[in-house]
Amino acid sequence: MSPGWRTALVTTLRERCRVCFACVRECPAKAIRISGRQAEVIPERCIACGNCVRVCSQGAKQAVRSIAQVEELLASGAPVAACLAPSFPAEFPELPVPRLVGAVRALGFSLVQEVAFGADLVARRYRELLAEPGRRSIATTCPAVVSYVERYHPRLVDLLAPVVSPMVATARVLKRLHGPDLHIVFVGPCIAKKGEDRWPGADPGVNEALTFGELREMWLEKGIDPADASPSEFDPPRAGSGAIFPVSRGMLQAAEVPEDLTLGEVVSADGRSAFVDAVKELESGDLDGATRLLELLCCNGCVMGSGMTSTSPLYKRRALVTRAARERLRELDEGEWEGEMSTFADLDLGRSFFARPVTVAAATGADVAEILTRMGKQSAADELNCGACGYDTCREHAAAVHSGLAESEMCLPFTIDQLRNAVREIAVSHDQLASAQQALMHSERLASMGQLAAGIAHEVNNPLGVVLLYSHLLLEGIPEGSALRGDLETVAAEADRCKKIVSGLLDFARQNKVSLSRVTVDDLVAQSVRGVVVPERVVVEVEHEDPGLVVELDRDQIVQVVANLVRNAAEAMPRGGTVIVRTRAVGGSLVLSVTDGGTGISKENLSRVFEPFFTTKPIGKGTGLGLPVSYGIVKMHRGDIDVVSNADPAAGPTGTVLTVRLPLRGTRGA
Ligand code: ADP
Ligand code: MG
């Protein structure tokens, strides 16, 4: 026996799902859960309408298959009847009916029956029901609609007209004609038929339900070409206007229910959203009070069922069915048909329905509001209700998130916003990374230069000491006025200059010692500025944001740093200007900056200013050691020094800012 109602008739092939939400959008029962970026059918919620199978472009939704079970029945040797749903003309337009019937027989079926005869009986039963005064009914031959009402509108179950479907009616006719041992296989356009009346104790009427697609597969497997099948006729009883059932309103016409719109007695709704709306409005009381009959189909007529392989559009399929019905009625032997109808007038076509409510933890207003906020929807204006997530409104989506059916990432505008932010953040961290990389390369280059400088300084230091010592000793021994004295004085002075250079190199290479003491920043800066001879038109201004700030550092060394910076700033303003020295405490650091409105440093020079002996000044004026020495000293204090400059008047005012950061509490470092 085919799967029961608790088993999923539709399953998801996870590896194929590309999470486009088309299935969520198309599912009238909201029976598809998106979790872990995968769509998954929830068996208890699924009404097996097959909409998701139809719309999934990736073939990621699969209906349960019945071919193996049908083959087993056929192989058993017992008689098996095939009952063809009246939508067959829309599926097999290429086949004359006798070929179609012959090809079905060729598979081993002993009887080939028209379900349309069952539809004739069902239509007559509906006509009788509607004649009962004051009765209000939901009339449907669609198992998906029945499933929907039983699960989602259990209070309306009693309104479902207690009439079996044409499939079951046909099965009951066949059982009466051929005995209870006859096996029956329904062949039709619908996968919901596989689950019709399959709960324990129910009588599903048929043993198995195949789709037209599966019928074609069986022909292929058995090597049967239906176009070549020996022609054959349907077994009696033959059908009448029941042939028109698979198009919308077909059932009303077959039942001869007058559809006078001014009376408002009949409401006909088909298609996945229309039937849901109609049921909801019936329950909420919005429907016209005069409405006595709600005729519902889940698809736009059974011709659009998901078990069809046809790719023809709706009205083409309808035309194929109506034309076939017309021909059928033209050929119909009315007397014979009436005879058959009266033979089965007493056939029991009754059935019952059961409320099988699907419970979902209802979301409160606060839950929904919280989830909406999480999805970046702060106000009603942010609720775009764009439907991209598969839910009609943002609130429905939020409620589905609450009950675990959906994920907030399904909100397209929200996800786009998040992606934009992520891209922005990546761009920022990319920039940071690039500048960190540059700084690293720069400090690596300086470090290797430091090693070289330290090596040279050490080697030169000793011989230089000897030169200095002897030149001073010689100077002491040479009488005033001696011809050699002038030369010796030059030797001693130049050796002194070398000593300073060597000491500067040792500073740069961080080879000198730091001797810490507590000083106020105000005194430190004043002393530094005093030591610099600035040209007349240059003014040095000092601004302390935190006056009296005490800091622990090597006073002489830092005085040298500030003096170097102020000197450079002054030298960069040959026509005069203002040098501003600013200090402040930030976190645990002293931040000292020296700003000038001078010529600025060109881009290509900017990365070289801390290299020893790099200078743009004329020989004799610049040594190219001021900044390297300052760099070394600041690093020995475990601080930082950096430079920002503009030398291009087209890009804005030119000038340079050198900023030094030093820890307030000194630590000796290398
Ligand atoms: P020197 O001053 O002996 O040239 P420095 O190491 O002090 O050596 O400076 C190196 C170079 O950096 C300078 O020659 C100059 O090109 C540039 N420089 C330093 N500070 C400034 C500044 N404030 N404005 C413009 N250029 C500067
Ligand atoms: Mg200098």
pLDDT in tens, 582-612: 999 999 999 999 999 999 999 999 989 999 8
pLDDT in tens, 127-154: 898 888 888 899 999 999 999 999 999 9
pLDDT for residue 3: 42
Q: What is the pTM of this model?
A: 0.68
- For residues 377 and 385, give the distance between their C-alpha atoms in angstroms, rounded to a whole number: 11
Ligand 1 centroid – CA 630 distance (Å) = 12
Nearest CA to ligand 1 atom 11: 615
Ligand 2 centroid – CA 160 distance (Å) = 97
pLDDT in tens, 336-376: 999 999 999 999 999 999 999 987 778 899 999 999 999 99
- Residue 564 CA, closest ligand 1 atom number: 7
Ligand 2 centroid – CA 220 distance (Å) = 92
- Residue 625 CA, closest ligand 1 atom number: 6
pLDDT for residue 507: 84
Q: Return the closest-CA partner of residue 506 out of 579, 450, 562.
A: 450
Nearest CA to ligand 1 atom 14: 615
Which-ligand-closest: CA of 623? 1
Nearest CA to ligand 1 atom 21: 568
Ligand 2 centroid – CA 462 distance (Å) = 27
- For residues 186 and 666, give the distance between their C-alpha atoms in angstroms, rounded to a whole number: 91
Pocket-forming residues, ligand 1, beta carbon under 6 Å:
564, 568-569, 572, 596, 598-601, 609, 614-617, 622-628, 656
pLDDT for residue 670: 39
Identify which of 593, 613, 615, 645 to mutate to test ligand 1's pocket (most ligand atoms within 8 A of the CB): 615
Ligand 2 centroid – CA 305 distance (Å) = 87
Contact 600, 656 (CB under 8 A): yes
Whether residue 632 has pLDDT greater than 70: yes
- Residue 629 CA, closest ligand 1 atom number: 6
Whether residue 6 has pLDDT greater than 70: no
CATH pick for 517-663 out of 3.30.565.10, 3.30.70.920, 3.40.47.10, 3.40.50.2300: 3.30.565.10
Which-ligand-closest: CA of 614? 1
Nearest CA to ligand 1 atom 23: 569
> For strand 183-188 and strand 208-211, is the pairing parallel, antiparallel, or unpaired?
parallel
Nearest CA to ligand 1 atom 12: 609
Ligand 2 centroid – CA 549 distance (Å) = 27
The residue ranking higher by pLDDT, 289 or 84, is 84
Stretch among 99-103, 472-476, 655-659 having the lowest mean pLDDT: 472-476
pLDDT band for 4, please (50, 70, 90 cuts): very low
pLDDT for residue 482: 87
Which-ligand-closest: CA of 616? 1
Whether residue 669 has pLDDT greater than 70: no
- Residue 605 CA, closest ligand 1 atom number: 16
pLDDT for residue 621: 86
Ligand 2 centroid – CA 568 distance (Å) = 5
CATH 1.10.287: does it fit domain 417-509? Answer: yes
Ligand 1 centroid – CA 564 distance (Å) = 9
Tell me which residue has tokens 């009959």. Answer: 293
Instruction: Provide φ and ψ at 438, rounded to 5°.
Output: -65, -45
Identify which of 599, 606, 609, 631 to mutate to test ligand 1's pocket (most ligand atoms within 8 A of the CB): 609
Instruction: Please give the structure tokens belonging to residue 484.
Output: 């050699």
- Residue 594 CA, closest ligand 1 atom number: 23
pLDDT for residue 434: 95
Whether residue 385 has pLDDT greater than 70: yes
Whether residue 280 has pLDDT greater than 80: yes
pLDDT band for 668, please (50, 70, 90 cuts): very low
Nearest CA to ligand 1 atom 19: 568
CB atoms within 10 A of CB 286: 10
Nearest CA to ligand 1 atom 7: 626
**303 burial level (CB within 10 Å; 0-12, 13-18, 19+):** buried
Whether residue 42 has pLDDT greater than 50: yes
pLDDT in tens, 515-541: 999 999 999 999 999 989 888 899 999
Identify which of 538, 593, 627 to mutate to test ligand 1's pocket (most ligand atoms within 8 A of the CB): 627
pLDDT for residue 1: 38
Nearest CA to ligand 1 atom 17: 609
Ligand 1 centroid – CA 557 distance (Å) = 19
> For strand 538-544 and strand 577-586, is the pairing parallel, antiparallel, or unpaired?
parallel
pLDDT in tens, 448-476: 888 888 888 888 988 999 999 999 999 89
CB atoms within 10 A of CB 472: 15
pLDDT for residue 134: 83
Q: Return the closest-CA partner of residue 403 out of 361, 368, 367, 370.
A: 361
Nearest CA to ligand 1 atom 13: 615
- pLDDT, averaged across the chain: 91
pLDDT for residue 261: 66
Ligand 1 centroid – CA 609 distance (Å) = 6
The residue ranges of every structural domain in the chain are 10-343, 365-410, 417-509, 517-663
Q: Provide the terminal-to-terminal Cα distance of the chain, rounded to the nearest Å.
A: 84
Ligand 2 centroid – CA 563 distance (Å) = 9
Ligand 2 centroid – CA 621 distance (Å) = 9
Range from 17-26, 217-226, 406-415 that averages highest in pLDDT: 217-226
Buried b (16+ CB within 10 A) or exposed e, 33-68: bbeeeebbbbbebbbbbbbbbbbbeeebbbbbbbee
The size of the chain, in residues, is 670
Cα dihedral across residues 306, 307, 313, 317: positive or negative: negative
pLDDT in tens, 389-447: 889 999 999 999 998 888 888 899 998 999 999 999 999 999 999 999 988 898 888 88
